């Protein structure tokens, strides 16, 4: 039946077998569907292997959408379900704080019309971290000097709605990558993600025609040209080891940041030897908001799994002072991390933020900068950028002075956290209620708040920072003056440059491919049924072969939903990969012939042998496919199965046992009739 569906999707022919799987997912808009756009050669290559493809997420999506488009009854049911979802959402009890977060500025507009702004102002300070930056009136007294850097650009137009408190400008993840390369570094211009090369704020990117973009440079090159400061760049492995080795003989605490979506690939090999055998560390697992909630105690399971990975990488368990799970993007867990820093370290020495690329170091650094960890006088004066080594210059790391946590200050901070906890509990109740009613993962996403207790102590006139004009007309970037009496005896928090771990494949990807690979929202697992002799492809980034074992076994794929999947017989996997690489069916890498010629071949790992645990429906292990994602394997109790994993140059293939999310099978959707796939699973357990 599925092969009939494949033919229907290509030749746009509708029949009963094509409609058999159309009852999945009521969120598809048929009017937006377009068949995969392949050039003639790519379509011919697909025709050669059509009969050998057992499942393709690209074809399946097209099949379902074609069914909806031609069936008015299903379209009517979709509209009815949508109205029911809105009605269920409206039954939730209103709470101004949560509504502000969920509906953004529209709530404030409605409050103005209804005369309810007074109630909203009472809770304005308690907002998730990503909304903490307030809009201020445009006056000479309160416009941040650092925010004027965008006026360097010829086509920049001031907008009264711009957030002048944002040093970087505002990213827009929904905006596609342009085809215009930066004149400085050659990366394609984009405004989706500041940590990816070619970034330009949306204020400078959106609405600009091609000639305007061709005459400008990206934000990173702009800082290099005007201020001799590099932003969010990586260093070579040799320079990284030399830089981290300088910490070895210092009395310092290391905040080791790990990407929870990419470990142990985001842990630098041999880091424990570089830092020294007695180095105290606090492990910070970032991006916990993107992991699905497979069970009520899933955070404890994640913490235990992360601790085992750190110990296996060479760190002594006694040197691990704490393991924190945070989301630098939403602020979850950051206040708890600061409290732990005050309690276990205080101001006994400097603090170094260490980690590989894309783990969120700069985001966490900016969060700590606007918290009780930073001296109040320095909060608004430290530049929000990562200064890294640049040829011909001295190694510099962005830093801020750490606030000395006296007993009285800790008491005031504790009082503030206790008072805010009441608001947190109410918001969590509302979000949990709306998550159960709507089934939306955005309500289940972990959200936190980062505040400051000692704002009254701030005195900008007594800062100890020096400025240098560097020949520019606009307000300059501020640099720290360590010789000031205010900061002479301070301890510092440093943001170290990132480095690409050898097991990561992120350096093989273009900007567009990297945005497609990195998840932006809570992951919803994709479940499949594999039989011996079948292989699963994750885009062009990885492949898993089921060699032998039970007649069938369930697997769960945790990766970005933008990455397509394909299942075929293992005997035909090599031919299918060669034929479909560069097409819509594998997507990454792109169709550029020059790029495809340089793309490294998939290489296998040694065979992986797994054994089922006694408890049913428990994932026994995770098979990691480098930075692309991981596959959780579910086996019957006592049964053994053999797998073989493939990635470019065999990078980053690991077995994580026990699994990070052992109860993930509870999140799977229903089986799609006639296929090897299940419906898209939930992001959380509704209980």
pLDDT at 472: 39
Q: Which residues of the chain have pLDDT under 70?
A: 1-43, 62-76, 78, 82, 85-168, 183-186, 195, 224-235, 377-397, 456-483, 687
pLDDT at 217: 81
Which residues lie below 8 Å from residue 36, measured CB to CB, with a gap of 6+?
Answer: 58, 62, 583, 584, 585
Place of tokens 């094509």: 18
Q: Which of 242, 243, 335, 326 is nearest to 291 (CA)?
A: 326
Distance CA 681, CA 665 (A): 9
Tokens of 390: 């640049």
Distance CA 655, CA 632 (A): 10
Task: Determine the Cα angle at 237 with ends 354 and 180, to 5°.
Answer: 90
Tokens of 387: 């200064």
Q: What is the CATH number of domain 237-407+479-483+491-495?
A: 3.40.50.300
Extents of the domains making up the chain: 42-59+506-679, 174-231, 237-407+479-483+491-495
Distance CA 427, CA 446 (A): 11
Q: pLDDT (tens digit, 9 = 90+) per residue, 563-613? A: 999 999 999 999 999 989 988 889 999 888 888 888 999 999 999 999 998
Place of tokens 């910490």: 247
> How far are the Cα atoms of 27, 64, 213, 675, 677 from residue 74, in angstroms, in the given order?
12, 11, 45, 21, 21
pLDDT at 70: 46
111 within 8 A of 456, measured Cβ to Cβ: no
Distance CA 395, CA 241 (A): 13
Tokens of 307: 């601790």
Task: Determine the Cα angle at 100 with ends 99 and 103, to 5°.
Answer: 75
Pairing state between β 619-625 and 553-559: unpaired
Q: Which of 306, 383, 374 is nearest to 338 (CA)?
A: 374
How far separated are the first and last CA of the chain, in Å rounded?
37
pLDDT at 619: 94
Q: What predicted TM-score, i.e. pTM, was given to this entire model?
A: 0.73
pLDDT at 43: 67
Q: What's the maximum distance between 2 C-alpha atoms anywhere in the chain?
A: 80
616 within 8 A of 651, measured Cβ to Cβ: no
- Partners of 259 in the β-ladder: 286
528 within 8 A of 557, measured Cβ to Cβ: yes
Distance CA 78, CA 28 (A): 9
């Amino acid at each position: 039946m599925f092969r009939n569906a494949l033919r229907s999707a290509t030749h746009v022919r509708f029949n009963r077998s094509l409609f058999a799987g159309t009852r999945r997912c009521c969120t598809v808009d048929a009017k937006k569907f377009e068949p995969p756009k392949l050039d003639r050669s790519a379509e011919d290559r697909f025709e050669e292997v059509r009969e050998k493809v057992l499942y393709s997420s690209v074809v399946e999506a097209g099949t379902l959408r074609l069914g909806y488009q031609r069936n008015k009854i299903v379209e009517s049911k979709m509209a009815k379900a949508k109205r029911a979802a809105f009605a269920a959402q409206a039954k939730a009890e209103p709470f101004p704080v949560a509504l502000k977060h969920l509906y953004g500025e529209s709530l404030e507009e409605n409050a103005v019309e209804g005369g309810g702004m007074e109630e909203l102002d009472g809770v304005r300070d308690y907002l998730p971290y990503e909304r903490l930056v307030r809009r201020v009136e445009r006056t000479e007294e309160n416009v941040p000097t650092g925010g004027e850097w965008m006026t360097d650009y010829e086509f920049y137009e001031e907008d009264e709605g711009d957030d002048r408190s944002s040093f970087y400008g505002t990213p827009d993840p929904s905006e596609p990558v342009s085809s215009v390369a930066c004149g400085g570094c050659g990366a394609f211009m984009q405004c989706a993600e500041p940590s990816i090369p070619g970034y330009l704020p949306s204020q400078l990117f959106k609405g600009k025609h091609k000639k305007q973009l061709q005459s400008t440079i990206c934000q990173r090159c702009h800082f290099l040209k005007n201020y001799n400061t590099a932003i969010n760049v990586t260093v070579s492995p040799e320079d990284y080891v030399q830089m981290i080795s300088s910490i070895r003989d210092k009395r310092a605490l290391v905040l080791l940041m790990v990407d929870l979506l990419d470990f142990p690939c985001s842990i630098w090999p041999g880091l424990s030897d570089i830092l020294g055998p007695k180095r105290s560390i606090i492990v910070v697992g970032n991006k916990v908001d993107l992991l699905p909630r497979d069970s009520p105690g899933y955070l404890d399971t994640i913490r235990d799994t992360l601790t085992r990975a750190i110990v296996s990488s060479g760190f002594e368990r006694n040197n691990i002072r704490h393991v924190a799970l945070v989301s630098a993007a939403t602020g979850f867990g950051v206040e708890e991390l600061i409290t732990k820093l005050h309690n276990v370290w205080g101001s006994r020495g400097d603090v170094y933020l260490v980690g590989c690329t894309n783990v969120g170091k700069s985001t966490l650094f900016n969060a700590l900068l606007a918290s009780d960890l930073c001296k109040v006088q320095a909060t608004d004066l430290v530049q929000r950028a990562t200064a890294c080594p640049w040829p011909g210059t001295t190694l510099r790391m962005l830093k801020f002075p750490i606030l000395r946590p006296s007993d009285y200050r800790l008491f005031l901070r504790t009082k503030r956290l206790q008072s805010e906890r009441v608001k947190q509990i109410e918001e969590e109740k509302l979000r949990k209620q709306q998550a159960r009613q709507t089934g939306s993962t955005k309500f289940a996403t972990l959200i936190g708040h980062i505040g400051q207790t000692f704002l009254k102590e701030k005195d900008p006139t007594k800062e100890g920072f020096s400025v240098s004009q560097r020949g520019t007309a606009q307000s300059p970037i501020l640099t720290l003056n360590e010789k000031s009496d205010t900061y002479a005896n301070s301890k510092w928090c440093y943001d170290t440059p990132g480095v690409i771990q050898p097991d990561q494949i992120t350096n093989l990807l273009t900007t567009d491919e990297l945005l497609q690979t990195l998840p932006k929202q809570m992951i919803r697992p994709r479940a499949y049924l594999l039989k011996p002799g079948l292989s699963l492809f994750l885009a062009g980034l990885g492949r898993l072969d089921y060699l032998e074992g039970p007649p069938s076994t369930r697997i769960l794929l945790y990766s970005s939903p933008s990455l397509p999947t394909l299942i075929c017989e293992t005997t035909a996997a090599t031919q299918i990969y060669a034929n479909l690489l560069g097409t819509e069916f594998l997507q990454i890498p792109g169709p550029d012939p020059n790029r495809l010629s340089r793309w490294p071949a998939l290489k296998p790992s040694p065979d992986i042998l797994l054994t089922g645990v006694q408890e049913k429906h428990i994932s026994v292990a995770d098979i990691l496919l480098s930075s692309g994602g991981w596959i959780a394997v579910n086996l019957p109790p006592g049964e053994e199965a053999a797998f073989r994993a493939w990635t470019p140059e065999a990078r980053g293939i690991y077995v994580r046992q026990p699994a990070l999310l052992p109860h993930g099978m509870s999140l799977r959707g229903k089986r799609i009739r006639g296929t090897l796939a299940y419906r898209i699973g939930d992001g959380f357990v509704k209980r």
